[in-house]
Amino acid sequence: MRYLIAVSLIWSLSFGLISVRFGDIDSNLLGFARLAIALPIFLPFVKLGGLPLRTLCSLLLIGAIQYGVMYTALFHSFKYLQGHEVALLTVFTPFFVVLFHSLMSHTWNSLFYLSALLALAGGAWIYLPAEFNAPLLGILWMQLSNAAFALGQVWYVRCKPADRTDLSLYAIPFAGAVALTAVTTSLTAGWADLRILDTSQWSALVYLGAIASGLCFFWWNKGATLVNPGVLAAMNNLKIPLAVLVSVIVFREQASLLALIGGCILILAGIYSAMRGKDPKKA
């Protein structure tokens, strides 16, 4: 679980960078840039020898969906939503995690759904504004993003060969994601925006690509193989209270202490309840 906690903390520091720094940049190009920066980090460690073709293709497709589709949909949602609305709409990811686990394993674990519901309620309690009037298109793009990220997590756990390390495989999902985002960027003629990226935007992209995408996605899926699906689902929303804490402590922003405490309790209750559930051997 330490991998998931570490990633949640790093991601909590990254909220707001996209909407603040890249509002006018093509969403597909942003996804491609982050993933293309992450890919070379893992290429020196990849080991393809003896890897079944089916597993290789599955890992490529996992990356294309979990990172390629997720980023394309996420960045596109910023055309319709504000940063805090995007953050709020990520709270549905835990539900998608347990749903895809149920569909892929042909099982139903009510305790995992309870964990996801508690985490969803906790995240929503922290972020839910008095009025929420987000455009439907923005909401739909965000749910596509959530579903893609959740499906990739569950599928990776089921696909990863037991005799291979995560590090020896992880360039493959990133390669699939880079390929997909390269195609979508070409279809939207997004390459032209490369000319308008300034130094500060490139600096932010390097951080987001190497750390928030590269290192964190690797740690996240590695952590996913070490916990049961209910814990994984609830942990998807831990970044929400952490992001609020960072904004209060580091940036001296104002936040409702009652909402933060209540949300934390619900999310932690979701994690705790899932830990009591039977581990069906890593999703």
Each residue's pLDDT tens digit, 112-147 = 999 999 999 998 888 776 566 778 999 999 999 999
What is the predicted pLDDT for the residue at 197? 86
What is the predicted pLDDT for the residue at 243? 76
Query: Where residue 282 falls among pLDDT bands split at 50, 70, 90?
Result: very low
Q: With contact defined as beta carbons under 8 Å apart, do 217 and 167 qualify?
A: no
Each residue's pLDDT tens digit, 59-107 = 999 999 999 999 889 878 878 887 667 777 889 999 999 999 999 999 8
pLDDT for residue 279 is more than 70: no
What is the predicted pLDDT for the residue at 281? 46
Query: Where residue 20 falls among pLDDT bands split at 50, 70, 90?
Result: low
Q: Which two structure tokens, joined as six digits, stand for 78?
A: 């910023």
What is the predicted pLDDT for the residue at 241? 83
Closest residue by Cα to residue 77 from 136, 11, 10: 136
Instruction: State the average pLDDT for the chain.
Output: 87
Model's pTM, two decimal places? 0.89
Domain chopping of the chain, boundaries: 2-275
Query: Where residue 19 falls among pLDDT bands split at 50, 70, 90?
Result: low
DSSP the chain: -HHHHHHHHHHHTTTTHHHHH-TTS-HHHHHHHHHHHHHHHHGGG---TT--HHHHHHHHHHHIIIIIIHHHHHHHHTTTS-HHHHHHHGGGHHHHHHHHHHHHHT---HHHHHHHHHHHHHHHHHH--S-----HHHHHHHHHHHHHHHHHHHHHHHHS-TTS-HHHHTHHHHHHHHHHHHHHHHHTTGGGGGGG--HHHHHHHHHIIIIIIIIHHHHHHHHHTTS-HHHHHHHTTTHHHHHHHHHHHTS-----HHHHHHHHHHHHHHHHHHHTS---S--
